[in-house]
């Protein structure tokens, strides 16, 4: 019985053709010398029964992937009377080299140009007679999907098989010669691997598996993950809180003991600009740096341990319902540190709609800059017992806005991105590694933030003190006039003109806002907190914070979204949608609470 082997690149419709030609008689069999099971079937060709084998799809006859080795070993070890080479006619230019490689084996061959229908639609025309003359083998155009050209293919295969003489010793020698180089390389690789490299064949039942059994537990996995994140935040504040207070005290001492005496000689204008503007604004922000540093270090710890990849596994099913996937969730978590690297992180997604939807959602995650603002206001307005719960509530609100956004926009950004992600083993992160990663993040963050903070607080001080002679921070100043412009829009959500100024500058970078409070109110430290508590009630404060949470990504994030999406229209959407959502959310909250509490 003669044997035909079906050979071609993956996804040329080779298996579809095999099924068409052989009907349902195919079975899976094990071939000597070959490690895999291959489908084969008996077919009737020109009055004779022949056996047809479906070889694994390969890109290169001389390649060293497992599939490529399988094909070579089969050709070497088993007599093949005819090779049927399947090529996707639309991609003939890229696939023809494989045909030439196969031809050099010296075995009788037939070229089957599949997907003729698609090729025709794409304007690919093949002159089969000419191609056949060049190749020295019959060429048939067909479409396995629709069964077009199948009769002709069967006829040509039968003819070629009848013409094929027995594979004599000369042919065998040519085949061996063509493949001998590959055989030598394979053997040499195997010899070197055996001598010099030890591969873990099957890793012993390791700790990693045991941790996974708990961390990826169907019921406990997700609650455990959120518990771990909660503990992480607790640790950040437990360690960072005292550091922040210490730093505030230190900055205060520095001002009173060193700066005030020196600056006393300066004219009033510069004294105010330098101390009440630059210094007060900058140190209010700088006091939060220990918290931010800790936050990034802990995030690096979680990421390097392999827990973030587990989070993708745990949340993928839920994220899929929002039109996102597990990786989007990981990016949202990264966004809690800073939105900018999180937006960049969406690069690993290939489908554009999925990337865009992720980029629309990520800026809603409560980044560390916004956290500073909330910590400041919450500690001024709420009792110490309530404060952690209020902050926790804002994280919930952050998630809710993301869910709403994804649900609203998932129809517009539909995608069918494959989700195939490596799950790294659990690792104990080394201190050095975490410190390095954490430090890189911190430096990145600080350089971005400081650039805007110094310029921001100077601009705010000038706006709140000019024109000369106006009472600082009053409605006569430039800032006061600007703020008044916003009153019609912001009054319904309980935000006054002073906070409006802070919001304007928060657009540049959110951490500028607390620097702005210091400058706008002309005080810092405890005095500023007391002024806050005096000038607004908790409903106003929460409304203001909700607005701050959602209203618009900072300039760095917007610039990153614009670069990553390469679309000004999308970047505009990423600014306008949160702005609308912020106002609506604050409006509903503020007016609703006023109704309830009235």
Partner 1 sequence: MLHMKSKNHLLSELIPGQEALISAVHADEALHHRLAALGFRIGNRIQLMRRGRWAGPLHVRLGATDVMLRQTEADLISVSPQ
Residue 124 interacts with partner 1 (CB under 8 A)?
no
* CB-side neighbour CA atoms (13 Å) of 36: 17
**Helix or strand or coil: residue 39?**
strand
Considering the complex, state which of residue 32 and residue 428 has its C-beta at the smaller distance from partner 1. Answer: 32
Q: Looking at 233, 313, 439, 507, which residue binds partner 1 (CB under 8 A)?
A: 313
CB of residue 36 to partner 1, shortest distance in Å: 4
Q: Which stretch binds partner 1 (CB under 8 A): 158-166, 183-191, 316-324, 477-485?
A: 316-324
- Closest CB to partner 1 among 208 and 379? 208
Task: State how far the alpha carbon of 363 is from the alpha carbons of 174, 326, 369, 433, in Å.
Answer: 64, 17, 12, 28
Distant-in-sequence, close-in-space partners of 363: CB < 8 Å, separation ≥ 6: 335, 339, 343, 553, 557, 561, 574, 578
By CB under 8 A, is residue 62 in contact with partner 1? no
From residue 348 to residue 377, the character string flagging contacts with partner 1 as x (rule: CB under 8 A) and all else as - is --x---------------------------
Give the list of residues 6+ apart from residue 495 with CB closer than 8 angstroms, or none. Answer: 486, 503, 540, 543, 544, 547, 586
Which residues pair with residue 39 across a beta bridge?
28, 54
**Residue 210 sits in the site that holds partner 1 (CB under 8 A):** no
Contact (CB, 8 A) for 30 and 23: no
HEC profile of 281-294: HHHHHHCCHHHHHH
Which stretches within 466-509 are classed as H helix? 478-490, 497-506
425 sits near partner 1 (criterion: CB under 8 A): yes
Interface with partner 1, residue 216, by CB under 8 A: yes
Instruction: Please identify, among the stretches 138-146, 264-272, 315-323, 479-487, the one whose residues bind partner 1 according to the rule CB under 8 A.
Output: 315-323
DSSP-derived secondary structure for 146-193: TTBTHHHHHHHHHHHHHHPPP--HHHHHHHHHHHHHHHHHHHHHHHHH
* Cα–Cα distance for residue pair 421/418, rounded to 1 Å: 9
The first and second tokens of residue 279, run together, are 């210094």
Options 32, 264, 597, 598; binder of partner 1; rule CB under 8 A: 32
The binder of partner 1 chosen from 2, 3, 19, 36 (CB under 8 A): 36
Q: Which of residues 172-201 bind partner 1 (CB under 8 A)?
A: 199-200
Dihedral pair phi/psi, residue 573, rounded to 5°: -60, -40
Residues 3-22 that bind partner 1 (CB under 8 A): 10-11, 15
Looking at the Cβ atoms of 205 and 268, the one nearer to partner 1 is 205
How far is 225 from 597, CA to CA, in rounded Å? 37
Rounded least distance, CB 210 to partner 1, Å: 13
Binding track, positions 374-413, relative to partner 1; x by CB under 8 A: ----------------------------------------
Smallest distance from partner 1 to CB 50, Å: 15
Q: Identify the CA nearest to 277 among candidates 268, 265, 289.
A: 268
Which residue's CB is nearer to partner 1, number 423 or number 580? 423
Contact (Cβ atoms closer than 8 angstroms) between residue 314 and residue 216: yes
Question: Measured from the CB of residue 418, what is the shortest distance to partner 1 in angstroms?
Answer: 5
Residue 249: alpha-carbon gap to chain centroid: 41
Sole residue written with tokens 């399947």: 86
CB contact at 8 A, 443 and 229: no
Rule CB under 8 A: is residue 163 a binding residue for partner 1? no
Shortest CB 573 distance to partner 1, Å:
28
User: Which residue in the set 117, 212, 304, 511 belongs to the binding site for partner 1 (CB under 8 A)?
Assistant: 212
Does residue 147 interact with partner 1 by CB under 8 A? Answer: no
CB of 218 to partner 1, least distance (A): 5
Which positions lie near partner 1, rule CB under 8 A?
A: 10-11, 15, 27-32, 35-37, 40, 56-57, 65-67, 70, 199-200, 203, 212, 216, 218-219, 221-222, 312-314, 316-318, 320, 325-326, 350, 416, 418-425
């Amino acid at each position: 019985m003669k044997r035909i082997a079906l050979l071609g690149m993956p996804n040329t419709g080779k298996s579809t053709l095999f099924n068409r030609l052989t009907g349902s008689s195919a079975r899976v069999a094990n071939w000597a010398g070959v490690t895999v099971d291959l489908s084969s079937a008996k077919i009737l060709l020109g009055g004779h029964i022949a056996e047809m084998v479906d070889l694994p799809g390969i890109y290169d006859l001389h390649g060293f992937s497992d599939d490529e080795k399988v094909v070579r070993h089969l050709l070497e070890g088993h007599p093949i009377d005819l090779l049927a080479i399947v090529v996707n006619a639309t991609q003939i230019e890229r696939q023809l080299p494989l045909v030439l490689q196969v031809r050099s084996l010296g075995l009788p061959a037939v070229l089957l140009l599949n997907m003729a229908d698609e090729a025709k639609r794409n304007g690919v025309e093949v002159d089969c007679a000419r191609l056949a003359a060049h190749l020295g083998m019959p060429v048939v155009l067909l479409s396995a999907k629709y069964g077009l050209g199948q009769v002709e293919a069967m006829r040509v295969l039968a003819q070629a098989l009848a013409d094929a003489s027995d594979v004599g010793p000369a042919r065998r020698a040519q085949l061996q010669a063509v493949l001998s180089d590959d055989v030598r390389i394979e053997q040499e690789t195997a010899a070197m691997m055996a001598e010099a490299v030890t591969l873990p064949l099957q890793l012993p039942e390791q700790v990693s598996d045991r941790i996974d059994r708990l961390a990826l537990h169907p019921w406990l996995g997700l609650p455990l993950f959120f518990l771990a994140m909660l503990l992480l935040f607790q640790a950040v504040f437990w360690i960072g809180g005292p550091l922040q207070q210490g730093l505030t005290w230190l900055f205060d001492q520095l001002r009173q003991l060193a700066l005030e005496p020196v600056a006393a000689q300066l004219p009033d204008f510069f004294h105010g600009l330098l101390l009440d503007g630059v210094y007060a604004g900058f140190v209010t922000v700088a006091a939060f740096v220990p918290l931010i540093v800790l936050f990034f270090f802990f995030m690096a710890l979680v990421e390097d341990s392999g827990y973030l990849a587990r989070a993708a596994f745990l949340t993928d099913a839920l994220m899929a319902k929002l039109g996102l996937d597990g990786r989007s969730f990981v990016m949202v978590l990264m966004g809690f540190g800073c939105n900018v690297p999180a937006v960049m992180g969406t690069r690993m997604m290939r489908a554009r709609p999925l990337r865009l939807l992720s980029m629309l959602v990520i800026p809603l995650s409560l980044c560390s800059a916004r956290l500073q603002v909330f910590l400041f206001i919450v500690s001024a307005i709420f009792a110490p017992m309530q404060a952690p719960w209020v902050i926790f509530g804002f994280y919930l609100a952050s998630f809710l806005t993301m869910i709403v956004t994804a649900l609203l926009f998932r129809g517009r950004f539909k995608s069918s991105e494959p989700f195939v992600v490596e799950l790294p083993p659990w690792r104990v992160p080394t201190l050095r590694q975490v410190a390095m990663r954490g430090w890189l993040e911190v430096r990145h963050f600080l350089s971005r933030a400081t650039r805007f903070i110094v310029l921001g607080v100077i601009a705010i001080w000038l706006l709140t003190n000019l024109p000369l002679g106006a009472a600082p921070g009053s409605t006569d100043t430039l800032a006061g006039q600007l703020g008044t412009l916003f009153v019609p829009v912001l009054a319904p959500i309980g935000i006054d003109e002073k906070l409006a100024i802070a919001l304007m500058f928060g657009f540049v970078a959110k951490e500028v806002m607390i620097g702005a409070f210091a400058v706008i109110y002309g005080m810092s430290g405890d005095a500023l907190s007391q002024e806050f508590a005096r000038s607004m009630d908790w409903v106003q404060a929460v409304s203001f914070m909700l607005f701050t949470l959602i209203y618009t990504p900072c300039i760095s994030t917007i610039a990153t979204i614009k670069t990553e999406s390469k679309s000004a229209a999308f970047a505009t959407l990423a600014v306008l949608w949160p702005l609308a959502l912020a106002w609506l959310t604050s409006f509903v909250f503020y007016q609703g609470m006023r109704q309830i509490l009235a």
